A and B are shown apart, each in its own frame.
Chain A
Amino acid sequence: MTSPALLRADLESALGSRFSAELNWRARPARECVSTGIARLDALTGGLPRGAITEIHGPASSGRTSLMVSMLAAAAMHEEICALADAGDAFDPASAQAAGVDLSRLLWVRCGGNPEHALKVADMLVQAGGFGLVALDLGDVSPSVARRIPLASWYRLRRAIEDTPTVMLLVEREQTVKSCASLVLEMRRETVAWSGAAGCSRLLRSARFRAASAGTSVPIELAG
């Protein structure tokens, strides 16, 4: 007999007299996943799980926003309506459109630097239902402030999104959601390529990032 089955038998024999029914665990069906828009990342993670929170964290210029925008573009490509609760008013529509985001399918909520409002907005958007992807951008919120968000708020958000087909995306500097996130991606920047010689007029050509999940990492290159 396998160890979970043994454990269950032990528990039932010990507690059976106190409960009328057997202890039946409901097996959760495998979550449907959608593409991140980046093939290597899809291969690493299997895609973004629907009905769950995906957390992207990393320092400034680590590619978090580029990854979020790529995911928004991928969702818009499937003709889904997306929403962005932007705590720091940092979203740049021009670069998002250049990255392939269909702006007419994006609801952008500017929260004026108030992470609490952003969290409430994300909750309302999830409760409204029907969004393919809801992103909560706390990328400019300092980790100390983000850590002050009670864990109960994240549990509430996780519960609200659980039985929906919505992908919940969270962008921040450090990991704060803990066990409420089904997928955690840690971003860091590797190299930046410039055209031309130093001292002359030149271009920022490309940047190479590395996304890590569950101990495995893949490089992601964004090039103009």
Chain B
Amino acid sequence: MFAAVHGAELAQLARCVADFSPYVEETSSSTAVISIDGLAHLFGSPREIADAIARRAADLGLAANVAIADNPDLAVHGARGFSGVTVMEPGREVGLPVALLEPPEEIALTLALWGIRTFGELAALPEDGVAERLGDEGVQLQRLARGAGGRPLAPSNPAPPFAESIEMEHALTLLEPLAFLLGRLLHDLCARLESRGLAAHELKLSLALEGADPHQRTLRLPYPMRAAGTFLKLLSLDLEMHPPGAPVTAVTLSAEAVNPRVVQHGLFIPLAPEPQKLELTLARIAKLVGEGNAGSPELMDTHRRGQYTLTPISAASANRCQSILAQFLPVLRQFRPPLRAQVEAPDGRPVRVHAPGVRGRVLESAGPWRTSGDWWIEDAWARDEWDVALSDSALYLLYRDRRNGQWFVEGAYD
């Protein structure tokens, strides 16, 4: 919701509403608007918030109207149209004069000729007729008259860019002193974020290098954080995996600031890793096993076997599980890559298999199950699959690549 204050000089109004929100839209020379989302915990209902703003204006010696509404435009119209404190409930705007919409001269003349003088009368006109006769501007005015403005607040004092930088007299060649500097920058950055009630969703590190192009790293976080210690560990691990190629002469660190995450904890919420610890653990694991080897598997929309992508796992983003245990065949253990095999198949059915680590006579078999796809691209696939029980007492999935006749062992059922 939004609160509009109207009736005094803008500088004084801005001073008044700045006590309630740092984001102030200076709509005109005598009107200012703020968002009141999040103020309910401090002041109570919208009416109580409006009263608090009016009291603050009175303390400053301002005779100002205050209006609360669902969108900034309706709040502005309420503050301009009603004196005192107003909460714009649905339908409250119908009696306001059309002049408050500040229509262009031509449209104002037309509306006067039609006898349209209030918001309610303009809102009641058929929309197609308004579009036909008054054009897009008329439709927009009618939307405002219906209290349906949905534009975001345009604060005149947007949050400053959160960036810190430092230049060195002597270039750094080791990561340890660089981490020391990063720690200092991160500490300042997080303090500034905290003072604004914000958190970082993304960190960008730019290292100016001696005689080389800048080394840039971007750290995307699964959820907004402002823990300097965690940031430092994540950046250090990232730099260990991707070290700069030349001595570092300057460091610039910037953060993309967003609202922090609000989480309701509870006794009956299932067990989940703490997000900060999980992020650090994933970074350490990535350093050990390599990037792209840890994540949540997601099957791709294809019939081709073994096609999946690994997506970052987040403790917060997991879906609510509704699955029940399915009945299933023995699960496949895949050989990556599939093992190239020598297969004796006198009448097309495999009777003996020989591959690295897999050797034996075929005791039982099922197949062939013919599959193919992607014939329209170079990487087409066509295969005959067999489930076989070998004399080594294991069950395997074999396939014959129909494009070249080569046999492979895809995996073992286990």
Contacts and interface: CB of A to CB of B under 8 A. Distances in A.
B318 A104 contact: yes
Interface in B389-412: 389, 392-395, 411-412
Contacts of A192: 364, 389, 395
Interface in B280-294: 280-282, 284-285, 288-290, 293-294
Contacts of B369: 201
A121 B271 contact: no
Give the residue among A64, A93, A127, A132 with the most B Cβ atoms within 10 A: A93
B320 A79 contact: yes
Interface stretch (A8-16, A23-31, A70-78): A70-78
Interface in B318-353: 318-321, 323-336, 349
A70 B393 CA distance: 23
A166 to B, nearest CB: 8
Given A64-B414, A81-B273, A102-B321, A108 B329 contact: no
B278 interface: yes
B26 interface: no
Nearest to A142: B357
Interface in A191-224: 192, 194-196, 198-199, 201-204, 206-207, 222-224
A132 B395 contact: no
Contacts, number: 218
B281 A128 contact: yes
A103 interface: yes
A202 B369 CA distance: 9
B310 interface: yes
A109 interface: yes
Contact of A95 (B277, B317, B328): B328
B281 A127 contact: yes
A92 B331 CA distance: 8
A207 B329 CA distance: 7
Nearest to A195: B366
A80 B293 contact: no
Given A90-B334, A125-B281, A207-B330, A109 B296 contact: no
B263 interface: no
Nearest to B392: A60
B414 A131 contact: no
A62 interface: yes
Contact of A92 (B319, B367, B411): B411
Interface residues of A, number: 74
Given A74-B325, A97-B299, A102-B323, A109 B331 contact: no
A7 interface: no
B315 interface: yes
A61 B293 contact: no
Residue among B274, B278, B333, B412 with the most chain A CB within 10 A? B333
A46 interface: no
Nearest to B270: A79
Contacts of B364: 192, 194, 198
A65 interface: yes
A193 B299 CA distance: 29
Contact of B325 (A70, A81, A127, A202): A70
Nearest to A70: B325
A117 B282 CA distance: 14
A165 interface: yes
B394 A110 contact: no
A80 B331 contact: no
B133 to A, nearest CB: 53
B253 to A, nearest CB: 26
B387 interface: yes
A128 B366 contact: no
Given A66-B331, A92-B332, A98-B326, A109 B299 contact: no
Interface string B87-108: 0000000000000000000000
Contacts of B412: 60-61
Interface of A: 37, 59-66, 69-70, 73-74, 76-81, 88-100, 102-112, 114, 117, 120-121, 124-125, 127-132, 139-140, 165, 189, 192, 194-196, 198-199, 201-204, 206-207, 222-224
Interface of B: 270-274, 277-278, 280-282, 284-285, 288-290, 293-299, 305-306, 308, 310, 313, 315, 317-321, 323-336, 349, 364, 366-369, 387, 389, 392-395, 411-414
- List the 8 closest A-B pairs by CB distance, nearest first: A130-B273, A93-B297, A65-B414, A79-B270, A61-B394, A128-B281, A90-B333, A60-B394
8 contacts: A93-B298, A94-B305, A99-B328, A100-B323, A108-B295, A109-B294, A129-B273, A165-B271
